[in-house]
Amino acid sequence: MISAKFQPNQTSSIEQRREQLKDWMRLCRESTLTLFDGMDYQTFCQQVHPDFSPVGWHLGHIAYTECLWLLERCAKSSFTPVFKQRKNIDHRRLFAADGLPKGERANLPTLADTIDYLAAVRKQVFDYLQVVPLNEQERLWRFILQHESQHCETICFLLELQRIKSKPNQLLISSLSFPLIENHQSREIEIPAGEFEMGSDSLDALDNERPRHRVYLDSYLIDKYPVTCGEYRQFMLAGGYQNQELWSPAGWEWLQNNSIIQPLYWKEDAVWDNHPVCGVSWYEADAYARFVEKRLPTEAEWEKAASWDAAAGVRRTYPWGEALPDGELCNHNYIYRGTTPVNAHPTGESSYGLQDVLGNVWEWTASWFDGYEGFEYYPYRGYSQVYFDGEHRVLKGGSWVTRPFGLRCSFRNWYHPFVREIFAGFRCARSC
């Protein structure tokens, strides 16, 4: 497990910050390689879903990206990997995000060769770290660390897709058991009108989180917990998937074209009733919200309720404050090997009283992904800006596999509204 200690420390010396980066990168890489322990070549190369590359491609892409940015563009050194068993592979064309189409990324080096590729790049990276002008480059190094973490989250849900295809009745679930929460109609929290600070300018903040800015919101109500499987089952039993009136036009068209009748990660067992529903598209989340005569929160509403400490007039990095994430505060970093009950981490609640805000499942919001006023892309336009296309919805909060390096209230995830393969759920809101 990764020790959750990822935060800027501006009072540390350059040498201390070098050692911090090295420790974080080692911990992150150990966790990455654990995902591939004992993996066979078929699993490594299988494209389990047409919209996503094989897990082995993601592993090679991690090495390629680290090499491209830290060695080639910063250290000005060249690097060509040696693949012993797949000697004619063009690693740049294969592992670049804009190289081969996803459907042509299955002819991969072996797992052993790919691990050697990562190790060879990392050795040179650590050599460069000893002389790097850190005041100029630390933001980039933190980006690379988060880039690896984000691809590992993709690897995790792709492995879960492979697993449920082979063993559909064996979904992961933690052993934690908590009393069932009260009915959803009585667990809303009112967020008073007023301004708050949204986004982040911290050293680890990605380009789409910047700049930090003030936003005014009218008062609204938001659910204390994410929607549970028990609650979502009522939507299913009431014919929610058959009732066109509950769906947006685009959502209904998607539903008819795909014959969806339940969430992707669903198991008909009451033991799940206190866990957040997981594996739903934005369309499904939106339809459920209409079913209970509510709506999805905007990204700003979600972030204010999650991070704003009105009494102190400050934005919190985490719902509970500045203490670093651990297994008592939230379900993240593969600690519980599955979702946990939504009321399993009461010590992690926000200043306004929201629970289960970070980790467990990503939460869909009503907002389209876009840049804040004053947005500047970093380190390249293709990371965020190309997705400001009015076709991607924002998700917040992280999941049970999200690593601490990207776990914070200001972090923004984005996907097409039809995507349901990610570990995503939602909570509802309504206007006062």
pLDDT tens per residue across span 59-83: 999 999 999 999 999 999 988 898 9
Rg value, the chain, Cα:
22
Sign of CA dihedral 178, 332, 229, 264: negative
For residues 396 and 328, the answer to whether their CB atoms sit within 8 Å is no
* Interatomic CA distance for residues 241 and 287, integer angstroms: 9
- The torsion of the CA quartet 179, 241, 421, 301, rounded to 10 degrees, works out to -70
pTM over 0.85: yes
Q: CA distances (Å), 264 to each of 193, 236, 420, in order?
A: 37, 13, 7
Question: 172 pLDDT exceeds 80?
Answer: no
Confidence of residue 271 (pLDDT cuts 50, 70, 90): confident
Across the range 395-402, mean pLDDT stands at 98
Q: Do the bridges between strand 413-415 and strand 393-396 make them parallel or antiparallel, or are there none, so unpaired?
A: antiparallel
- How far is residue 190's CA from residue 431's CA, in Å, rounded to a whole number? 9
Q: Report the mean per-residue pLDDT for the chain.
A: 93
Q: How far is CA 414 from the centre of its chain?
A: 9
Q: Packing angle between helix 282-291 and helix 249-258, nearest 10 degrees?
A: 120
pLDDT band at 166, cuts 50/70/90? confident
Q: b/e for 393-428, b at 16 or more Cβ within 10 A? A: bbbbbbbbbbbbbbbbbbbbbbbebbbbbbbbbbbb
State the maximum Cα–Cα separation within the chain, in Å, rounded to a whole number: 64
Q: Which tens digits make up the pLDDT trace of 173-201?
A: 565 666 666 655 459 999 999 999 999 99
* Residue 113 bridge partners (DSSP): none
pLDDT-derived band at 12 (thresholds 50, 70, 90) equals: confident
Q: What pLDDT is recorded for position 11?
A: 64
What is the rounded average pLDDT of the residues 394-409? 97
What's the one-letter identity of residue 147? H
The CA-CA-CA angle for residues 212, 217, 219, to 5°, reads 145
Contact 340, 328 (CB under 8 A): no
Average pLDDT of span 293-311: 98
Degrees, nearest 5: CA angle 141-145-148 = 140
